């Protein structure tokens, strides 16, 4: 690169340490993969890995898009509620019309509308995004109960399961959908002008505004996209299990945030990447898979998983403090 300004470069050890810290998640995920491949029978087997990919699909769909929200400085906990309610809306439409396409569309539009509402409240009423989405979560969970009349819902025809469970080139459509969403989110964030505006808004909203970025529009759009992705994830999940149940279970979003944060995207906004979330999700997935193959008690799995997230977040905080 022709770079007249390049004069100062960190030297020797500190540069390697910097690269090591910056791409930490890459090395740990690779190391875990190699470790499991070497020590655990059945890990490298095709069916096992395909299974891991399939199981991660819904989380990846929601997490790769929620990464944009996080980088723009927002925090969306309504992902859980949308992922619960959207498939109920979708199945209501499917039961009424018999159309899978309309059902899928309804679930996605529902998520998009909820997300746009979240984003508008955050951007225009200036309410903290965690609180906003916590509050709308309850509303959306409630809508789920209303739509389903408080009972488990099933599709009227078998073709609903084809959304997630069709096999194309050995992989399920759930996997393909998740990969497509990851790629789109990745390109949007890393390559487009909108992606730059997302980074700028999260990095310093006032500076971004003065440089001509429509920061409020950016916030509305990232929340809307996050809602859309959560809706899609919910429908894909329902298609895998061929049913949807109303609940007020918040656990899905915790998995999503864990993947984003373990990947190294900062909850403070302004820095991060979709590939990080991809690796974060697979790091956790490999870990869980390894535990299962070794038949480790799920209770211990949780404890270890929690500690791993703490280590990831403190590494991030530590490297940030060192740079400051």
Q: Which residues bind other proteins (CB under 8 A)?
A: 1-11, 14, 187, 191-196, 199-200, 203-204, 206-214, 270-271, 323-324
Quickly tell me which residue has 């480790």 as its tokens.
Answer: 296
- Minimal distance in Å, beta carbon 15 to other proteins? 9
CA distance 55 to 237: 9
Q: Are 305 and 288 in contact (CB under 8 A)?
A: yes
Give whichever of 23 and 176 is closer to other proteins, judged by the CB atom.
Answer: 23
Give whichever of 41 and 193 is closer to other proteins, judged by the CB atom.
Answer: 193
- Minimal distance in Å, beta carbon 65 to other proteins? 17
Retrieve residue 17's tokens.
Answer: 């340490």
SS3 state at 234: helix
- Minimal distance in Å, beta carbon 197 to other proteins? 8
Q: Are 244 and 91 in contact (CB under 8 A)?
A: yes
User: Angle at CA 282, nearest 5°, toward 311 and 252?
Assistant: 80
Give whichever of 179 and 184 is closer to other proteins, judged by the CB atom.
Answer: 184
- Minimal distance in Å, beta carbon 291 to other proteins? 35
- Minimal distance in Å, beta carbon 63 to other proteins? 22
Give whichever of 50 and 216 is closer to other proteins, judged by the CB atom.
Answer: 216
> Residue 79 contacts by C-beta under 8 Å, 6 or more apart in sequence?
62, 66, 226, 227, 230, 233, 252, 253, 256
> Residue 304 contacts by C-beta under 8 Å, 6 or more apart in sequence?
287, 291
Q: Are 79 and 230 in contact (CB under 8 A)?
A: yes
CA distance 222 to 227: 9
Write out the H or E segment, with its range, that includes residue 150. Answer: none
Reported in sequence order, the residue ranges of 70-143 that DSSP labels E, i.e. its strands, are none
Q: Are 93 and 209 in contact (CB under 8 A)?
A: no
Give whichever of 217 and 247 is closer to other proteins, judged by the CB atom.
Answer: 217
Give whichever of 307 and 317 is closer to other proteins, judged by the CB atom.
Answer: 317
Q: Are strands 171-172 and 167-168 parallel, antiparallel or unpaired?
A: antiparallel
Give whichever of 140 and 213 is closer to other proteins, judged by the CB atom.
Answer: 213
- Minimal distance in Å, beta carbon 8 to other proteins? 5
- Minimal distance in Å, beta carbon 319 to other proteins? 12
- The dihedral through the CA atoms of 114, 120, 122, 127 has a sign that is negative
Residue 250: count of CB within 10 angstroms of its CB: 16
- Minimal distance in Å, beta carbon 263 to other proteins? 17
Give whichever of 6 and 168 is closer to other proteins, judged by the CB atom.
Answer: 6
- Minimal distance in Å, beta carbon 13 to other proteins? 9
Retrieve residue 178's tokens.
Answer: 């998740």
CA distance 90 to 104: 6
Give whichever of 130 and 194 is closer to other proteins, judged by the CB atom.
Answer: 194
């Amino acid at each position: 690169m022709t770079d007249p300004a390049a004069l100062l470069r960190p030297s020797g050890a500190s540069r390697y340490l910097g690269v090591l810290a910056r791409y930490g998640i890459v090395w740990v995920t690779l190391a875990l993969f190699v470790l499991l491949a070497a020590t655990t029978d059945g890990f490298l087997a095709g069916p096992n890995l395909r299974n891991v990919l399939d199981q991660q699909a819904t989380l990846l769909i929601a997490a790769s898009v929620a990464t944009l929200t996080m980088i723009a400085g927002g925090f969306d906990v309504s992902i859980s509620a949308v992922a619960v309610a959207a498939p109920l809306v979708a199945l209501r439409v499917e039961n009424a019309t018999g159309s899978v396409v309309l059902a899928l569309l309804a679930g996605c539009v529902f998520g998009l509308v909820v997300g746009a509402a979240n984003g508008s409240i955050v951007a225009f009423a200036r309410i903290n995004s965690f609180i906003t989405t916590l509050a709308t979560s309850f509303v959306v969970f409630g809508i789920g109960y209303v739509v389903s009349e408080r009972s488990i819902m099933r599709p009227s025809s078998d073709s609903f399961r084809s959304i997630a469970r069709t096999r194309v080139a050995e992989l399920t459509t759930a996997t393909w959908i998740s990969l497509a969403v990851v790629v789109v989110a990745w390109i949007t964030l890393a390559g487009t002008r909108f992606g730059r505006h997302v980074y700028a808004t999260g990095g310093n909203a006032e500076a971004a505004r003065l440089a001509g970025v429509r920061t409020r529009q950016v916030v509305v759009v990232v929340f809307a996209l996050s809602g859309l992705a959560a809706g899609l994830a919910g429908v894909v999940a329902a298609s895998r299990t061929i049913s949807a149940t109303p609940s007020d279970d918040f656990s899905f979003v915790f998995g999503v945030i864990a993947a984003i944060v373990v990947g190294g995207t900062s909850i403070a906004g302004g820095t991060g990447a979709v590939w990080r979330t991809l690796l974060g999700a697979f790091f956790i997935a490999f870990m869980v898979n390894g535990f299962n193959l070794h038949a480790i008690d799920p209770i211990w799995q949780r404890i270890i998983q929690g500690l791993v997230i703490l280590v990831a977040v403190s590494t991030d905080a530590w490297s940030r403090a060192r740079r400051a």
